[in-house]
Structure 1
Amino acid sequence: MARCLAREFGYPARLLVNRDAAFVGLLGLSLDPEIPSWKQATCCNPLARPFPVADDHPAILHAAAVSVCGLAAKLSDDARDEGFIRRTAARLGRLLVSPATNRAVAMLNSTSFPTGQVLAALGSQEAIESADPLRADEPTAAAYGAITSHLVELLDRPAQREALHRTGAALGSLVYWRDAWQDRREDARRGRFNPFATSDPEAIRERIASSWNAFCSALGGLPFVRHADLISNMQTTTARQRRRFLGLEADEPSGKSGERARRREERRIRKADRDRSDCCHNRDCADGCCCLGVACDAGPCDAGCCDTGCCDCSP
């Protein structure tokens, strides 16, 4: 993903790598019946040992373009902020990224992605928040659903359109509520809208639970041809890492200190995952997935194909 962003949109764009975009790219790679064109390369450190990448895969290009457009949308939102410094910085940032944004939009349009429809959905955010705060997640859900369901056009997998749309829509809903939950104290301090300040927390909890169940159900119904164990591992790990959010536990830390605490907890869980697995024999495994997660980073597992019997630790 980082290599694709840097190549298509400039070296600084590699900083836009994020979990949501990486997940979209992984979905595409996992559903593609064609074997990806792997090549040996490095990512951020040119002195590092090369490893297999497929940075020109259609799903990776799609996810990269969406990431750039996501940044542009965030800057546009910040440009309407009540703070002068933040508003000015956002407007300047929007000017600086406009060439990359134009290229990203052109790339999406060239694959018949409904860019205008998605932007219109996101543009309805404030109106829905005012009319019915409990439905405030719907614009983000609609945008994510369009992003993931477009993979069927890129991979020629029309039968998976509904499942992919449900996967993305549920993920978008979860992303919206997670951000609102984490920002609730800061929003209250600055007098900004937050659905947790105007809606029944129990009703929101039910929507979050419904979205999580829909996400797991839709994901479980997709016919992955590779990396199924990795995706299952990610799903399990996410449930553990985000358990406080999924349960809306009131003692979850927020702000910068809360973010640091969350990162420490995520590192602890990843380390525990690595310690529980013994198939890689002290090799450097990615995110604790090891060979059972088709993500080994060393030795014969480099091609990410342990689930197909290519190395000693295949299940």
Structure 2
Amino acid sequence: MVYNKEQIVFGYLQIQKSELLVRELEAYKSVYCGLCKHMGKDYSFLTRLSLSYDCTFYAMLLMSVSRSCKGFKDGRCTFNPLKKCKFALCESDCYSKASAFSVISVFYKLKDDLADEGFFRRILTRFLLLFFSHWQKKAAKKYPDIDKYISDMTTMQAEAEADTNCSVDMAAHPTGYMLANVFALEAENDTDKRVFYEFGYHLGRWIYLVDAADDIEKDKKKNNFNPFISLKEEYTEERIVSALNQSLARAYDAYNLIDIKDFRGILDNMLLLGLPSVQNKVTGNIVGGNNE
């Protein structure tokens, strides 16, 4: 997924907390904490800082499809030992895949940042790369396909942004392509593969576009590439909302064809309420108002 500085910590695939049942909210927090704990176990305490809601969604989707969550365990937060929390138990490699996805994504994002950041930012980025390059190699050895698709995405993204005729669709394609192929790895047959691919593609496209919409003002000031502020066509609120709605609707259509076994209420909440809420906040900020 495309990570900006805020996204490394938070992410766009969020829940609508107020609309979840208490037990659903506790289950979501338990998956988040379980993934956090596993990242530290697989790689390093520092990699937990790269944990995002997006990777939590990925872990929860994998656990739902494979029905690998086997209950919850009481424990204490790694960052705050005085705080009690629950950890969702998983008998498959769902946490391992999500941890690898996070580490690999941050590694390639840091590499990309070297060309864009200022002098002091580059120093910090190079320092972080010393650690993440080691963790990326470890993750790529275990999940080479995930590493390949994320690596391909960064190459495709750079090529798209260098194209003077780059359109919104061209710019969003690499992220869609990456997530489509990563999700398709979970399919057991050709039919499921097409469904997972479609879901991943349009969800990835939405993530890229909502990130681009979120960064419009910043990119205008820094003269950075942004598909919504191209030289050939001025962006409008209607154009942005239309592109986001189209991706979200097609992602949801494909999602409904997936055999969701566990966490259905939470995943439904994210697709139907959480993501639209995030989108409304982003587009509301663009026009200086509130679209909710």
Give the TM-score, by structure 1 length: 0.71
Question: Which residue in 1 is equivalent to 2:122?
Answer: 87
The one-letter amino acid of 2:202's match is A
Q: Does 1:147 align with 2:179?
A: no
Identify which of 162, 173, 179 aligns with 2:205: 173
Identify which of 273, 276, 282 aligns with 1:239: 276
Distance 1:223 1:214 in 2: 17
Contact 2:199 2:255 in 1 (8 A): yes
Root-mean-square deviation (CA, aligned residues, Å) is 2.5
Q: Does 1:97 align with 2:132?
A: yes
Measure how far apart 1:21 and its partner are: 0.6
Contact 1:166 1:218 in 2 (8 A): yes
Distance 2:107 2:40 in 1: 17
Q: Residues 54-94 of structure 1: CA distance to partner in whole angstroms, max 9, x if unpaired?
A: 25631221111010011101111111115111222212211
Question: Which residue in 2 is equivalent to 1:218?
Answer: 254
Identify which of 79, 94, 101 aligns with 1:66: 101
Q: Which has the higher contact order (CA 8 A, sep 6+)?
A: 2
Deviates more, 1:125-134 or 1:172-181: 125-134
Contact 1:42 1:49 in 2 (8 A): yes
Distance 2:277 2:241 in 1: 17
Question: Which residue in 2 is equivalent to 1:4?
Answer: 38
Identify which of 101, 106, 120 aligns with 2:152: 120
Measure how far apart 1:177 and its partner are: 1.2
The one-letter amino acid of 1:14's match is R
Q: Residues 140-196 of structure 1: CA distance to partner in whole angstroms, max 9, x if unpaired?
A: 1111112222223xxx56642222222221121111112111211111211211112
Distance 2:60 2:44 in 1: 22
Aligned ranges 1:132-281 → 2 under 5 Å: 132-134=166-168, 135-152=170-187, 156=188, 159-198=191-230, 199-201=233-235, 202-235=238-271, 236-245=273-282, 249-251=286-288
Contact 2:105 2:150 in 1 (8 A): no
Q: Give unpaired runs (5+ residues) of structure 1.
A: 254-264, 266-315
Distance 2:284 2:248 in 1: 11
User: Residues 5 and 70 from structure 1, CA distance in 2 versus in 1: closer, same or farther, beyond 3 angstroms?
Assistant: same
Measure how far apart 1:197 and its partner are: 1.2
Question: Which residue in 2 is equivalent to 1:26?
Answer: 60
The one-letter amino acid of 1:100's match is W
Identity %: 22
Contact 1:144 1:169 in 2 (8 A): yes
User: Residues 190 and 50 from structure 1, CA distance in 2 versus in 1: closer, same or farther, beyond 3 angstroms?
Assistant: closer
Distance 1:81 1:55 in 2: 39
State the aligned residue count.
248
The one-letter amino acid of 2:84's match is R
Q: Give unpaired runs (5+ residues) of structure 2.
A: 1-34
SS in 2 for 1:36: strand
Question: Which residue in 1 is equivalent to 2:49?
Answer: 15
The one-letter amino acid of 2:206's match is L
